[in-house]
Amino acid sequence: MGRANNSQTVSWNQFDAVLFDLDGVLTATAKVHAACWKKMFDEYLQKRASRTSEAFQPFEIAKDYRLYVDGKPRFDGVRDFLRSRNIELPEGTPDDPPQTETVCGLGNRKNEMINAVIESDGVEVYEGSVALVRDILEKGIKVAIVTSSQNCDAVLKAAGISAFFKVRVDGNIIHDQKLPGKPAPDAFLAAAKTLGVDPKRAVVVEDAISGVQAGRNGGFGLVIGVARKGEVEELKEHGADVVVKDLGELVA
């Protein structure tokens, strides 16, 4: 199925499409997301601790973000992290104000934070990733964005790479079509269907555990993991066939 010969070589002629995650793969927004998740959860946990006399245990980016939140739809991330702390909140509705103590309210609070950062600081793009996208397009291979983020359009525009990606399956589409989030493969499969390609002839590029699991679960021809923090073996264990530290390594 076109497996790579080594970590720097992919036989691109065996594929018809490449499906990219966004945050942490194309743009340096994963660390911004993680910081906003920490700020939101720590504020909530401190408030809860003062009310219940429980010990305050802060949200840990290295553990909690990676295991429970990274790559997942926003409300799934809230729900899964709270469950890890044995905390149950009402689900609420997607329209809940950011101050509401519900799963959706906390998720919307985090979304408010990330939008403010994008507006004030802009978005950093990984040049190696852009070089790979250009290389792939020049080869006549189709591309798409598959992200759990509902900020996809704003991030692509701020990063100046909107024109590359006509097909996008983002958090809004996942929500509207009631698609299961990563590690379920449904969002990637939807992108492949929109592009008119067989999953076996498509490549998934991800930096999150839940993302490489989704690629593996969908039976895609190749799953590439991006280990920005050196988590090479962890990504391989969860479904990546090839792992690189920067996508520029895959440009001929």
Q: What residue ranges do the domains of the chain occupy?
A: 12-29+125-250, 31-121
Give residue 229's pLDDT.
81
Query: For the chain, what percentages of helix, strand and coil (3-state, to nearest 5) are there?
Result: 50, 10, 40
The model's pTM is 0.84
Cα 187 vs. chain centroid, distance in angstroms?
A: 11
**To 10 degrees, what angle do helices 103-121 and 74-84 make?**
120
The fold for domain 12-29+125-250 equals Rossmann fold (3.40.50)
List the one residue out of 243, 145, 239 whose CA is nearest residue 184.
Answer: 239
Give residue 3's pLDDT.
44
Q: Is 222 helix (H, G, I), strand (E, B) or coil?
A: strand
pLDDT tens for each residue of the chain, 252 residues long? 444 433 357 999 999 999 999 999 999 988 899 999 999 999 999 999 999 988 999 999 999 998 999 989 999 999 999 999 999 999 999 999 999 999 999 999 999 999 999 989 999 999 999 999 999 999 999 999 999 998 899 999 999 999 999 999 999 999 899 999 999 999 999 999 999 999 999 999 999 999 999 999 999 999 999 998 888 999 999 999 999 999 999 997
Neighbour tally for 25: CB within 10 Å: 25
User: Exposed (0-12), middle (13-18) or buried (19+): which is 67, by Cβ within 10 Å?
Assistant: middle
Neighbour tally for 102: CB within 10 Å: 17
Q: Which residues are catalytic?
A: 21, 23
